[in-house]
């Protein structure tokens, strides 16, 4: 399991390099002129391109002229998207800042909006956000109503149990047992297929009390989310078993906006080679998860 996941991640990295070598900036998807062109930025934030120019009528032009962007992120998922005392932080937050920077929008001009799993597609469809960067798995069902750029990361579903639980060692051990997950998420659908008694709430942090009290025997979602919750509640919980799905994370955007999707994809590809992606990882998820072994932390 570990090896296949690692090679997948390596493959994603290699593909990113190849794509970046071949990509052109046609279709109005260029990242503008006059910028810094590097993943540098200041210590705190990714680079912001100065005076980028985009083809008239594109979403990039609209956003860069307005000088602001509305981004849906999670507010209660340590490592990827969390609203703390210093504001929004996490790997997804940093990815959003990289994209905003290439539109000429500084981090302090981003309007952060809390997304929960179930409201992500409606937020995009209703125009309440410009993009969603929120541990958001790319899948065909979602692609019926929105588009995705990416993937920029590959997670996998796992289980969180109480630290002293030695009975649950894999997804086979939750058949017929109460397991907490979140409405509108891919893990919730998988749990039902696995035969667990699914107990649903709105956010993963709201699954922790039922786990403490014994109302459920496990919480299930992506390993990186569970790792963040375990780290935040040190000694109380642990991850159990291997990863049993693949969750490629994408950036949600309005269906049919191909130029915007191409622009975000090019921005991501550039970030893999100019250091911005690695920097974003190191200051957030990388404080707990290994870069290469990241998704394999539980194995």
Helix (H) or strand (E) segment spanning residue 179 = strand 178-182
Taking CB under 6 A as the rule, does residue 247 contact ligand GLU?
yes
Residue closer to ligand GLU (CB basis): 187 or 294: 187
Kindly state the smallest distance separating residue 95's Cβ from ligand GLU, in Å: 14
β partners of residue 221: 158
Kindly state the smallest distance separating residue 204's Cβ from ligand GLU, in Å: 7
d(CA 187, CA 105): 34
Angle at 181 between CA 217 and CA 169, to 5 degrees: 40
- The count of chain residues that interact with ligand GLU, using the rule CB under 6 A, is 13
Kindly state the smallest distance separating residue 247's Cβ from ligand GLU, in Å: 4
Residue closer to ligand GLU (CB basis): 83 or 109: 83
**Closest alpha carbon to 186 in 251, 252, 134, 138:** 138
Residue closer to ligand GLU (CB basis): 31 or 201: 201
Residue closer to ligand GLU (CB basis): 60 or 96: 96
Q: Are 102 and 39 in contact (CB under 8 A)?
A: no
**Phi and psi of 125, rounded to 5°?**
-60, -40
Q: Please count the other Cβ atoms lying within 10 Å of the Cβ belonging to residue 144.
A: 9
Binding mask 131-170 for ligand GLU (x = CB under 6 A): ---xxxx---------------------------------
Residue closer to ligand GLU (CB basis): 159 or 225: 225
Kindly state the smallest distance separating residue 174's Cβ from ligand GLU, in Å: 17
Residue closer to ligand GLU (CB basis): 221 or 298: 221
Kindly state the smallest distance separating residue 82's Cβ from ligand GLU, in Å: 13
Residues 8-37 that bind ligand GLU (CB under 6 A): none
d(CA 197, CA 138): 25
Q: Are 158 and 213 in contact (CB under 8 A)?
A: no
For ligand GLU, the binding residue among 198, 221, 265, 267 (CB under 6 A) is 221
Q: Which residues contact 78 (CB under 8 A, 6 or more apart)?
A: 90, 228, 229, 231, 232
d(CA 61, CA 220): 40
Residue closer to ligand GLU (CB basis): 135 or 284: 135
- Residues near ligand GLU (CB under 6 A) are 117, 134-137, 182, 185-187, 221-222, 225, 247
């Amino acid at each position: 399991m570990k090896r296949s996941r690692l090679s997948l991640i390596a493959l994603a990295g290699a593909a990113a390099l190849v794509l970046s070598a071949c990509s052109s900036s046609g279709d109005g998807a260029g990242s503008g002129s006059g910028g810094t062109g590097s993943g540098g930025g200041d210590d705190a934030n990714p680079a912001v391109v100065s005076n980028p120019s985009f083809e008239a009528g594109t979403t990039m032009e609209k956003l860069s002229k307005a000088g602001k962007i509305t981004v849906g992120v999670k507010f209660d998922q340590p490592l990827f998207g969390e609203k703390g005392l210093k504001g929004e932080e996490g790997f997804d937050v940093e990815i959003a800042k990289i994209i905003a920077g290439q539109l000429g929008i500084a981090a302090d001009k981003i309007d952060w909006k809390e997304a929960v799993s179930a409201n992500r597609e409606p937020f995009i469809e209703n125009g309440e956000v410009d993009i969603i960067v929120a541990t958001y798995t790319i899948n065909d069902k979602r692609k019926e109503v929105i588009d995705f750029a990416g993937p920029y990361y590959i997670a996998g579903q796992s289980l969180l149990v109480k630290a002293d639980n030695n009975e649950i060692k894999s997804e086979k051990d939750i058949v017929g047992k109460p397991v907490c997950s979140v409405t509108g998420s891919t893990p919730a659908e998988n749990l039902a297929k696995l035969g667990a008694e699914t107990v649903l709430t709105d956010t993963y942090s709201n699954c922790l009390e039922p786990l403490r009290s014994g109302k459920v025997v496990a919480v299930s979602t992506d390993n990186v989310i569970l790792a963040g919750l375990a780290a935040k509640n040190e000694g109380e919980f642990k991850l159990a078993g291997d990863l049993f799905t693949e969750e490629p994370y994408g950036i949600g955007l309005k269906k049919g906006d191909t130029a915007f999707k191409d622009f975000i994809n090019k921005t991501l590809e550039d970030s893999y080679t100019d250091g911005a992606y690695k920097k974003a990882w190191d200051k957030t998820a990388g404080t707990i998860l290994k870069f290469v072994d990241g998704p394999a932390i539980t194995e």
